Amino acid sequence: MKTTIDITTILSQDLKSRYAVSDLLLYIKNMGCESAVVDFANVKFATRSFIDEYYNAIMKSQNGIKIETINIPEDIQYIFEAVQRTQHKEKDIQLDATVVKCKTFADVQRVLGSLML
């Protein structure tokens, strides 16, 4: 049996925090249902960070509960699509760093002084 949850009654009409996603997931797990439907119909605003966390923790994750998302407002759907497009890219991080060990404060001052332009 599917349980429908109006996300605004659990969280807010403004979805701003990544941490709110874990609260929602905990709420769904505590309901003890095998599947749930999360209804976004009354959501007025959502940050990209909230949507990113929601996508990764609920839509993409295998958390043991089948969770369907419905009635996403058009402007928020664009954020979901942007998040989804960025999930598959390899992060090309190149670090070019030098580690400088300092034994005294004078050593620190000398290193910082060399960084000044």
Question: In Å, how far are 45, 55, 103 from 79, measured between CA atoms?
Answer: 11, 10, 49
Question: How confident is the model at residue 91, as a pLDDT?
Answer: 63
d(CA 54, CA 48): 10
Residue ranges and CATH numbers for the domains of the chain are 2-92 (3.30.750)
DSSP-H helix ranges across the chain: 7-10, 18-31, 48-54, 74-86, 105-115
In the predicted model, is pLDDT for residue 117 greater than 60?
Answer: no
pLDDT digits (tens, 9 = 90+) for 73-106: 999 999 999 998 887 666 667 777 778 889 999 9
Q: What does the mean pLDDT of the chain come to?
A: 88
Strand order in the sheet with 35-39: 2-6, 35-39, 66-70
